[in-house]
Structure 1
Amino acid sequence: MTRPFSAVLTSALLMATPAFSFDINNMNRAETEAFGAEVRAYLMENPQVIMDAVNTLEERQAAAQAQSDVDMVAVNAKDIFEDPTSWVGGNLDGDITLVEFTDYRCGYCRKAVADVEKLIKTDGNIRFIIKEFPILGEASVASSRFAIAVRILHGDDAYKNAHDALIAHKGGVGDASLTKIARKLDLEAAPLLEKMNSDEVTQVIADNHALAQRLQISGTPTFVLEDRMLRGYVPFDGMQQLVAEARKD
């Protein structure tokens, strides 16, 4: 259980001032009030102590989260990096693998598309995996179902075209709009509309949601870069720097 900040602060102050030899838990009311006044006076004169404590706490929490992410990725590595139901592009023999959990109705996922494509193109040595992770309602689910159906029936190239069309689509999502997208991609709509509601497609989405739960992913976009998790949108320059750091590890 996390200790209250006041308790942490009190402990720190006592350790910093060995002259205090009394038991703080057994002070009477007057002693408690006096001690509280001394602590308050000290903090008013040295407010940076509070910021230093907060910064240290945040650094420790970030380090703990990073290690937890590394552990979760290691445990789930096969499902993250070797899942046969997920589209794989970029350099298939790349020395770095980047995985994206995405939702077609997510504004930041749409924003990330150009940055990710630029990263993959300019780097030339990144293997890129897309995980269908619809979490923003029925339109998201229908879009993912359609994309997965396209891959099952027509392969990886057709899937990428469908993915790009869906991520750019701004209207409603239903049989009519999906039929229109299929026609633009020179695909027959009827078999896709039937396949998208199949148990096979449902299982892919269910497996991705189960994997996301194990990885404590609750939002999109979320990226897995080797053994590191990036929760949220990362601009091109930031992603490029993270890839460089991953190569050094």
Structure 2
Amino acid sequence: MALCLFLISGANAAETISPDQKKAFEGVIRDYLLKNPEIIAEAFEALQKKQKIAEADASRAALQSQSAALFNDPESPVAGDRNGDVTIVEFFDYRCGVCKRVHPIVNTLMNGDRKLRRIYKDWPILGPESVFAARAALASRAQGKYLPFHNAMMKARGKLDKNAVFKIAEKAGIDLPRLVRDMDSASITNILRRNYQLAEALKLNGTPSFVIGGKILKGGRDLETMRQIVAETRAGK
């Protein structure tokens, strides 16, 4: 009864309630929760569901507003079928261990499904060496070497400093003096700036991150999970 009266009376009643009434009310609430602790679990579960729905709605809105930047940036490297029915957008950092582990998984997915399109979003977030590596990779596009250079960088283990990046570039058949010149271009600076802004708009919090259809995936996934997500995207789920 005390609980009902308090809820009905509203905020104004809270200002006039006496200390004794307040203490009594708090005692009623405490006793009720102690006798029915499942109420707390139910409330927490309801809150989690509400938050997930809100997050899903926010993700859909962000994907819609950022669609052009995600899927139609002419300066983003692309692999697979450029007219594919499902697009995988990948945000990565060359110094990210999980990115390197998931790289062959995505390659296997692409090799087994010729209708997929893959868009690469260089997103160097792990320090200056990551930025250097990303600039080198993007500069390699001018020599038509982005994909072999990217794959070699993802396979590389150990420290990925300037010397390591240049050794990988040489093995990929890249003209180093030209690469160094191209790395400092305003175009590459703008690509990275757009990628940072896009990741922020999508509320990404680390690499790797993927966008497949209407889903944002944070972190790595196994092959079967990614195949399932592609299938669901094709089915319009």
Greater CA deviation, 37-46 or 141-150?
37-46
Aligned length: 232
Aligned partners of 1:149 and 1:196 also within 8 Å: yes
- Using the alignment, how far apart are the partners of 2:164 and 2:9 within structure 1? 74
Give the 3 Å change call, closer, same or farther, for CA 230–20 of structure 1 in structure 2: closer
Determine if the alignment matches structure 1 residue 145 to structure 2 residue 158. no
- Displacement after TM superposition at 1:173 (Å): 3.5
Aligned partners of 2:95 and 2:160 also within 8 Å: no
Return the letter of the residue paired with 1:45. Answer: K
- Using the alignment, how far apart are the partners of 2:104 and 2:160 within structure 1? 23
> Helix, strand or coil for the counterpart of 2:193?
helix
Return the letter of the residue paired with 1:147. Answer: A
Determine if the alignment matches structure 1 residue 123 to structure 2 residue 96. no
Aligned partners of 2:86 and 2:230 also within 8 Å: yes
Aligned partners of 1:97 and 1:126 also within 8 Å: yes
Two-structure CA RMSD over aligned residues (Å): 2.2
Determine if the alignment matches structure 1 residue 154 to structure 2 residue 143. yes
- Using the alignment, how far apart are the partners of 2:5 and 2:83 within structure 1? 60
Determine if the alignment matches structure 1 residue 194 to structure 2 residue 181. yes
Aligned partners of 1:103 and 1:140 also within 8 Å: yes
What residue number does 1:9 align with?
Answer: none
- Aligned equivalent of 1:70, options 60, 65, 81: 60
- Displacement after TM superposition at 1:19 (Å): 10
Determine if the alignment matches structure 1 residue 165 to structure 2 residue 152. yes
- Using the alignment, how far apart are the partners of 2:158 and 2:7 within structure 1? 68
- Displacement after TM superposition at 1:18 (Å): 8.0
> Helix, strand or coil for the counterpart of 1:123?
coil
- Using the alignment, how far apart are the partners of 2:29 and 2:227 within structure 1? 46
What residue number does 2:227 align with?
Answer: 240
What residue number does 1:84 align with?
Answer: 74
Tell me, which stretches of 5 or more residues in structure 1 are unaligned?
Answer: 1-12
What residue number does 1:5 align with?
Answer: none
Structure 1 residues 2-34: Cα deviation after superposition (integer angstroms, max 9, x where no partner): xxxxxxxxxxx95xx689755562432222222
- Using the alignment, how far apart are the partners of 2:5 and 2:105 within structure 1? 55
Task: Give the structure-2-normalised TM-score.
Answer: 0.88
Structure 1 residues 77-100: Cα deviation after superposition (integer angstroms, max 9, x where no partner): 111101111111123222111101
Tell me, which stretches of 5 or more residues in structure 2 are unaligned?
Answer: none
Aligned partners of 1:139 and 1:172 also within 8 Å: no
- Using the alignment, how far apart are the partners of 2:215 and 2:152 within structure 1? 29
Give the 3 Å change call, closer, same or farther, for CA 21–172 of structure 1 in structure 2: closer
Task: Give the structure-1-normalised TM-score.
Answer: 0.84
- Using the alignment, how far apart are the partners of 1:229 and 1:143 within structure 2? 25
Give the 3 Å change call, closer, same or farther, for CA 22–208 of structure 1 in structure 2: closer
- Using the alignment, how far apart are the partners of 2:126 and 2:214 within structure 1? 27
Determine if the alignment matches structure 1 residue 99 to structure 2 residue 84. no
Greater CA deviation, 94-103 or 224-233?
224-233
- Using the alignment, how far apart are the partners of 2:6 and 2:164 within structure 1? 75
Aligned partners of 1:142 and 1:173 also within 8 Å: no
Of all paired residues, the percent bearing the same amino acid is: 34
